[in-house]
Amino acid sequence: MKKNTLIILLLFVVLGHAQDANYTIKNIEDNSKYSDFGPTYYGDNQVIYASSRKVKGKRNKTWYKNSQPFLELYKATVDSTGEFVESNLFSKNLNTKYHESNVAFTNDEKTIYFSSDNYTDKKRHTDKDGWVLIQLYKATVDSTGTWVDVKKLPFNSDEFDTGHPSLNADNSILYFTSNRPGSYGLTDIWAVDVLGEDSYGEPYNLGPNVNSTRSEMFPYIDTDNVLYYSSDGKNYGNGGLDLYAVKIKDRLGMNEAVNLGLPLNSLKDDFSMVFQKGKKTGHFSSNRDGGKGDDDIYYFEELVNPIIENCKQLVQGVVREKETGALLPGALVTLYNAKGEKVESVIADKFASFAFNVDCEAGYRVTGAKEFYDMDEESFTTSNVADLALSIGLDLGSNEFVFVRDKLMIKINPIYFDLDRSFIRPDAALELERVLTIMQKYPLIKISLGSHTDSRAADAYNWALSNRRAKSSKDWLVKAGIDPSRLTARGYGETELVNTCSNGVSCSEFDHQLNRRTEFVITNPEVIK
């Protein structure tokens, strides 16, 4: 055995091993020595599929590419073991002398969508290079059970292939294969909204989480909105076309597709997977070694569903101002994962609320930010309970205000006065400019200016000095245009020390300085919006 072949086989075993217990499979007895593939269930226990087996009593025209007869649609009964019995041609009106394959029925089974060569009105239609391409058709059934009114779908074109139909649970979306302009690769999975009888939206590509630069084909959408399809271009393929599955959440919302692994996938082509209604059994097609013919139909039973929808939880909260508890609509709230990577950002709504959908059993960090406020953040870990709602509060500290000793104050740097002096120094004027700006921004707030000294010097002296300093600060603001009725000024001397540096206590200059302060206390914080 060549070294490269051995490596491929080893990779095939390793990559498929994680899912090799998910399914059991068997080759059904009805397979011919030709190509049999593409089953779709019909009625309670019937199946429609494509086969190139020879039809008795008919001149079987062959296709040049494989020297087999052209594909016809067949109907069979599916027994309890998954076998096809009593196989017969499905419909003379739908089968032509060229290819037909892969059908989809509406829920009432009165309309059929199917793939067929571009042959209408007994005439072959070709592209600019002379090739007959695959097209999507539909037909309806009349009161006698005959399929009539066969017509092409309006989004076909002679210049590209369109085929392999599959309808979602409520028949509102038709999935199909095409190499139309806008495809990522050789053929892609596309979808189109079914708007009404003979009315469709604009086809749209399912994007790079489904499609690759090579071939994606044979879509099948189940009742849980899981899309099964085949690809030979996605990562970690086993060889040829492999079966993949992906949960469709909305028009383009989906995770990366998952390879279904062994034994569904092989070193050859594996495709056209469908589930029986309400069961974990179904059929798929493969040209793997050991089959009866070219493409064979296999019966499978799903033991473990490899597509488990991610467990989701809702985290929601409210952003408030830390000092007052006021709501802060318009705050930017950002969610990060455990790696510190940004997941999503939202703006808190008019009620200051926010919400994120997050994965179960995962760590996150959420931050809140708003102009003129300090950022707040909360970290949390979700549980393993799906649909659980978590509540988180973010409290943004205002960088305009500070809450100290149960009082809301304007946040400024300390205002200093020269020793035994009460005039406003240039550095103190800068801080008073900030107070002025805030009072102009919030025209309803009222402020009590409180000036304090350290414990050095006589108590009476400190009391008088602090009152002069408070008054000079008030006078500065009034001169700058603030209504005097919004300001009160009072000196406290050394009566409200912030530490233990009272009379007779030895303290450093730094500790004494903490007591020499002017505070701007907001007396009506409720008016701040």
- Amino acid sitting at position 161: D
Rounded distance, CA 455 to CA 181, Å? 84
The pair of three-digit structure tokens given for residue 408, joined into one six-digit string:
């809301």
What is the C-alpha end-to-end distance of the chain, expressed in Å?
Answer: 79
| 426-441 vs 459-479: helix crossing angle, rounded to 10 | 60
List, by residue range, all CATH 2.120.10.30 domains of the chain.
Answer: 23-302
So what's the pLDDT on residue 243?
A: 94
- Token look-up 């050095």 returns 456
pLDDT band at 58 (very low <50, low <70, confident <90, very high): low
Max mean pLDDT range (24-38, 309-323, 380-394)? 24-38
Rounded distance, CA 492 to CA 494, Å? 6
Q: Is the whole model's pTM more than 0.75, yes or no?
A: no
Strands 173-178 and 111-117, bridge-based pairing? unpaired
- The order of strands in the sheet holding 258-259 is 216-221, 226-231, 242-247, 258-259
So what's the pLDDT on residue 457?
A: 80
**What's the CATH architecture for 23-302?**
6 Propeller (2.120)
Length of the chain: 529
So what's the pLDDT on residue 77?
A: 96
Q: Is the pLDDT of residue 11 over 60?
A: no
Q: Is the pLDDT of residue 300 over 70?
A: yes
Which residues lie below 8 Å from residue 380, measured CB to CB, with a gap of 6+? 315, 363, 364, 365, 366, 390, 392
Strand partners, 297: 285
Per-residue pLDDT tens for 301-337?
988 777 655 567 889 999 998 877 788 889 999 999 9
List, by residue range, all CATH 3.30.1330.60 domains of the chain.
Answer: 401-527
Per-residue pLDDT tens for 477-516?
999 999 999 999 998 888 878 788 888 888 887 777 677 7
Rounded distance, CA 220 to CA 30, Å? 22
List, by residue range, all CATH 2.60.40.10 domains of the chain.
Answer: 312-396
pLDDT band at 529 (very low <50, low <70, confident <90, very high): low
pLDDT band at 444 (very low <50, low <70, confident <90, very high): very high
Task: Tell me the pLDDT of the chain averaged across its residues.
Answer: 86
SS3 48: strand
Q: Which of the following CATH numbers is that of domain 312-396: 3.50.50.60, 2.60.40.10, 2.70.98.10, 2.40.50.140?
A: 2.60.40.10
- Decide if domain 401-527 falls under CATH 2.102.10.10: no
